[in-house]
Amino acid sequence: MKKTPTRLADGRELIYYDSTDSVVRDAVDPRPLERVATTSETRRDRLLGDTVAIASHRQGRTYHPPADQCPLCPSRGDRHTEIPAPDYEVAVFENRFPSLAGDKGRCEVVCFTSDHDASFADLTPAAARLVLDAWIDRTRELAQLPSVAQVFPFENRGEEIGVTLGHPHGQIYAYPFTTPRTALVLRSLAEHRAATGRNLFDDVLADERADGRRIVLEGEHWTAFVPFAAHWPYEVHLHPNRRVPDLLGLEEDAAAEFPGLYLELLRRFDRIFGEDQPPTPYISGWHQAPFAAPGREDFALHLELFTIRRTSGKLKFLAGSESGMGAFINDVPPEAAAARLREVASK
């Protein structure tokens, strides 16, 4: 992998990731951009104990532009985008409309491919591996920032999820705090360790592998399963079989096997509801240990993938119980979801 950092016209960082060392990235951003001004702040909820980011400047962010005005496509001719080059493999840049910035963290955009009409599932294993290497590199670099406590690479796919740019891309949020979800997991890990002397992630993975009913696919180094208490209609957790706290801990054998397994999972998601249905909307994200949190050594890196579509033409909306009280109700039994995901395996 070749990494080429540069700057956009307003000073934001842009990094190209290429699969060969011979590529030269010297295009200059010619746009007359002013420096990005943000109003990002974080506020702590004293009752719940969690943190909320307030970012009013995001109201003016780009919203569903036509394909010929996509800001994530390469720059060609007289049309200049966020990526000055006429083509690229993987590109990462600081978000122009960040939820977190400065001493409140950082937000980055990850463009998986220059092909506007593709999706992550269309990538070759080699291209998906380059994205994984970019995620690893960004985790390493963001970990060095004094304002960053936790790094979350993720992808939102589909208008139903709320995606406002159709180009295949994801984001990385580098939080200045431990996220509420991770704090709950760390609490459960500590309680399980105190009660049993064992690691909770290890026990969950061993129990799922022993039970087998919710296993979706298995490799030599990874296991994908629908969790016993899945919150979402179709939800899969992908764990390396050897526990590591974050992407930096992945061994080469696991990193090499990941692209094939992940691409298969994404392609199965697109077949859940039938070949005649539109692409399945989903959220996919890497859960990593906070860098300095107590209990970090017990945390297990894993990827969580889920869709809000519960059946053909119907979405699962977070209504009163879920939105108001955080108490989920799942319409699809996890065992049935796993069976369906095995059923639509690639031939």
Asked whether 73 and 83 are in contact (CB, 8 A), the reply is yes
| Structural domains of the chain, with CATH | 2-175 (3.30.428.10), 180-343 (3.30.428.10)
Cα 214–chain centre separation: 23
Contact 334, 226 (CB under 8 A): yes
Residue 316 has a pLDDT of 94
**Catalytic: 169?**
yes
SS (H, E, C) the chain: CEEEEEECCCCCEEEEEECCCCCCCCCCCCCCCCCCCCCCEEEECCCCCCEEEECHHHHHCCCCCCHHHCCCCECECCECCCECCCCCCEEEEECCCCCCCHHHCEEEEEECCCCCCCCHHHCCHHHHHHHHHHHHHHHHHHCCCCCCCEEEEEEEECHHHCCCCCCCEEEEEEECCCCHHHHHHHHHHHHHHHHHCCCHHHHHHHHHHHHCCCEEEECCCEEEECCCCCCCCEEEEEEECCCCCCHHHCCHHHHHHHHHHHHHHHHHHCCCCCCCCCCCCEEEEEECCCCCCCCHHHCCCEEEEEECEEECCEECCCCHHHHHHCCCCCCCCHHHHHHHHHHCCCC
Exactly one of 64, 116, 169, 302 is catalytic; which is it?
169
Integer Cα distance of 107 and 40 in angstroms? 11
Q: What is the pLDDT of residue 129?
A: 98
Cβ–Cβ < 8 Å for 18, 31: no
Residue 183 is predicted with a pLDDT of 96
pLDDT at residue number 60:
65
Per-position pLDDT tens, the chain of length 347: 999 999 999 999 999 999 999 999 999 999 999 888 787 899 999 999 999 999 877 766 777 798 899 999 999 999 999 999 999 999 999 999 999 998 899 999 999 999 999 999 999 999 999 999 999 999 999 999 999 999 999 999 999 998 989 999 999 999 999 999 999 999 999 999 999 999 999 999 999 999 999 999 999 999 999 999 999 999 999 999 999 999 999 999 999 999 999 999 999 999 999 988 899 999 999 999 999 999 999 999 999 999 999 999 999 999 999 999 999 999 999 999 999 999 999 97
Range 46-52 contact pairs with CB under 8 angstroms and sequence separation of 24 or more: 48/180, 49/180, 50/180, 50/183, 51/177, 51/180
